[in-house]
Amino acid sequence: MHSLQSNDTPNESSRLLLAKLWRQIAPTLAENSGRVALALGCLLLAKGGLLLIPFLLKGLVDSLNQTPVPAPAALILLMVVAYGTARFANTLFAELRDTLFGRVTERAMHRLGLAVFKHIHSLDLAYHLNRRTGGLARDIERGTNGVSFLMRFFIFNIAPTLFEIAMVTGILLYNYGVNYSLVVLLSVALYGAFSFRATRWRTRFIREVNAADSDSNTRAVDSLINYETVKYFTNEDFEAERYDQSLEQWEQARRKNRLSLLALNGGQAVIIAVSQTLMLGMAALSVQGGNMTLGDFVLINQFMLQLFIPLGFLGFVYREIKASLANIERLFLILDQQPAVTDKPDAGTLAVAAGAIEFQQVDFGYGQERQVLSELQFRIQGGETVALVGASGAGKSTVVKLLFRFYDPTGGAIAIDGQDIRDVTQQSLRRAIAIVPQDCVLFSDSLLENIRYGRPDASDEEVEAAVAAAHLVEFVSRLPEGLATQVGERGLKLSGGERQRVAIARAVLKDAAILVFDEATSSLDSESERAVMGAFRALAGHHTALVIAHRLSTIVDADRILVLEDGRLVEQGNHEQLLAQQGRYTDLWQAQQREAAQILDHP
């Protein structure tokens, strides 16, 4: 089970977890305190009815058994009705309690779900690149369910059952002497101690099941997301084999879990059976010896039944609580995750004037081992269009990620209009930049909604204007459903060029001071490319624009071109100046010209 015992296997003490849980649900409880109080009142009434039942039974049996003159029928009938009423009250108030409290647990689940969602969105890109969507979804689902279970049972089962045990012991002690209450206390103590130890021993099996469950879900989701790749390489069997392996692990974990449950349940049953037999035997002997009435015998038997049912339930609840705690610890692990990129407490909003960008001696690497950007220094004036070129992997997209502050540089600083981007809120920073990303993925929604995503409150007219600006009109007019067309999961029903133009339309709607265009590596046919670049140029006109280009022909008219090599700025200038320098840019340019010529020669 090596993969299950990974570093992130949670192992927090239950106490700490409960404290965290409490912090999560306390506001909801406080807010609904009236409802909670009513539910507690119902609980007391239900238990009151339950405690009355053995006494009513005893009264009935003794009246029926009364010699030589039987009790009057009216009295007996009255007791029967009282018995029925007590039973009904018990059930009714228990139901009312659950109904009243249901709203509170659902509200708490709602809150927690939302908090987790917001929290995950607040985490940095590095976290999201490492996350495993399938497993994460499972952890969240199990966690919120666990919270709901804990809330219901902690409040309504443990405390009341303990109260009931105390009452029963007291009643037995008062009415029948020390022996009976001693048996009750001993068996309860034994039962409790056994359940506690056995359950603690079982927790690791539950964890194993959870880990295996998340693991297999991760596998399944990952494989389905990569459907096309699986088909390209005809690796269906390979995928099935891997899924099979992880399901196998899950099955093994479940088997161990079940066996351990058998051991626990078996042990508990033995303790209950022995003590119940003992009590019954003692009572039977007393009746036979004439020290007790038949009614007493019935009362003791009834109390034992009533006591051990909730006690057995308490065992179940304790077990489930441990399981729920194991479930929620993964959820709290997510909540404990701190984003690497955070706003300073006193961060202000970015004040954008011209939209000038400055990189000052920026160093950066994704990990310790490899430096991706080294002492990168450049300045883009407000309104200027600057192109960033360089080989694949040179660090061009990384420059954009730093500008968006998905990561912080390890050295140097980045400023917009003279303000260090670490000193302003991430929200205000990102609002100031519109991007057409290198791989543009869309939401599984209509074309219209995907474009409107650039500014959710944009009117239909504004969206149409953006569609026109992004040269999408002709494409949309050819679609039978027009803008209402569904684009498929991650927008995969559109071509790469179409997706990119959707991204441009979004950027148009966002209408930010700074514009970034990260050209797709997959080269578009020249007509689509002209459409995309034309749309972009029209947009760039009155903005500060940073264009990352793979095909140099698209950026010959940029105000300035920065040439990046291995994360260093090696040359800069406009097209003519750079050609005159006969350096890296000239090499790149000539290589691409040769390629273009070859394609023309051998189409």
Per CB under 6 A, residues contacting ligand ATP are: 129, 366, 372, 390, 392-398, 438, 521
> Measured between alpha carbons, how far is 250 from 232 in angstroms, rounded to an integer?
29
**Closest separation between CB of residue 436 and Mg ion, Å?**
12
**Closest separation between CB of residue 371 and ligand ATP, Å?**
10
**Closest separation between CB of residue 376 and ligand ATP, Å?**
11
DSSP code, position 361: E
**Closest separation between CB of residue 397 and Mg ion, Å?**
3
Q: Which stretch binds Mg ion (CB under 5 A): 55-63, 432-440, 467-475, 534-542?
A: 432-440
Place of tokens 């309690």: 97
Q: Which is nearer to ligand ATP, 233 or 366 (CB)?
A: 366
Residues binding Mg ion: number (CB under 5 A): 2
**Closest separation between CB of residue 143 and Mg ion, Å?**
36
Q: Which is nearer to ligand ATP, 397 or 450 (CB)?
A: 397
CA 575, 580, 581, 585 torsion: positive or negative?
Answer: positive
Name which of ligand ATP, Mg ion, none residue 477 binds, using a CB cut-off of 5 to 8 Å depending on partner kind.
none
Q: Which is nearer to ligand ATP, 109 or 394 (CB)?
A: 394
Q: Which stretch binds Mg ion (CB under 5 A): 50-58, 334-342, 354-362, 434-442?
A: 434-442
Q: Which stretch binds Mg ion (CB under 5 A): 27-35, 107-115, 392-400, 444-452?
A: 392-400
Beta bridge partners of 360: 413
Site string for Mg ion, 339-378 (x = CB under 5 A): ----------------------------------------
**Closest separation between CB of residue 229 and ligand ATP, Å?**
19
Q: Which is nearer to Mg ion, 65 or 521 (CB)?
A: 521
Beta bridge partners of 379: 358
Q: Which is nearer to ligand ATP, 470 or 562 (CB)?
A: 562
Beta bridge partners of 411: 363
Q: Which is nearer to Mg ion, 32 or 397 (CB)?
A: 397
**Closest separation between CB of residue 579 and ligand ATP, Å?**
22
Interface residue with Mg ion among 28, 157, 195, 397 (CB under 5 A) is 397
Nearest by Cα to 206 from 374, 110, 314, 214: 214
Q: Which is nearer to Mg ion, 385 or 438 (CB)?
A: 438
SS3 of residue 314 by DSSP:
helix
Q: What angle do CA 295, 297, 58 make, to 5 degrees?
A: 25
**Closest separation between CB of residue 495 and Mg ion, Å?**
20
SS3 of residue 388 by DSSP:
strand
Name which of ligand ATP, Mg ion, none residue 398 binds, using a CB cut-off of 5 to 8 Å depending on partner kind.
ligand ATP
Alpha helices in 375-525 (DSSP H): 396-403, 426-431, 447-452, 460-469, 473-478, 496-510
Burial 387-421 (b: 16+ CB within 10 A, else e): bbbbeeebbbbbbbbbbbbbbebeebebbbbebeb
Q: Which is nearer to Mg ion, 339 or 437 (CB)?
A: 437
Name which of Mg ion, ligand ATP, none residue 169 binds, using a CB cut-off of 5 to 8 Å depending on partner kind.
none
Q: Which is nearer to ligand ATP, 320 or 566 (CB)?
A: 566
> Measured between alpha carbons, how far is 15 from 470 in angstroms, rounded to an integer?
57
**Closest separation between CB of residue 11 and ligand ATP, Å?**
29
Contact between 206 and 259 (Cβ < 8 Å): no
Q: Which is nearer to ligand ATP, 65 or 521 (CB)?
A: 521
User: Omega before 68 cis (within 30°)?
Assistant: yes
Contact between 357 and 562 (Cβ < 8 Å): no
Name which of ligand ATP, Mg ion, none residue 521 binds, using a CB cut-off of 5 to 8 Å depending on partner kind.
ligand ATP
Name which of ligand ATP, Mg ion, none residue 69 binds, using a CB cut-off of 5 to 8 Å depending on partner kind.
none
The reply on whether position 195 binds Mg ion by CB under 5 A is no
Among left, alpha and beta (phi > 0; psi -120 to 50; other), residue 92 is alpha
Name which of Mg ion, ligand ATP, none residue 392 binds, using a CB cut-off of 5 to 8 Å depending on partner kind.
ligand ATP
Contact between 437 and 401 (Cβ < 8 Å): no
Cβ-in-10-Å burial (0-12, 13-18, 19+) of 53 comes to: buried
Q: Which stretch binds Mg ion (CB under 5 A): 223-231, 256-264, 266-274, 393-401?
A: 393-401
> Measured between alpha carbons, how far is 586 from 306 in angstroms, rounded to an integer?
90
Nearest by Cα to 199 from 30, 14, 337: 14
Q: By the criterion CB under 5 A, which residues form the site for Mg ion?
A: 397, 438
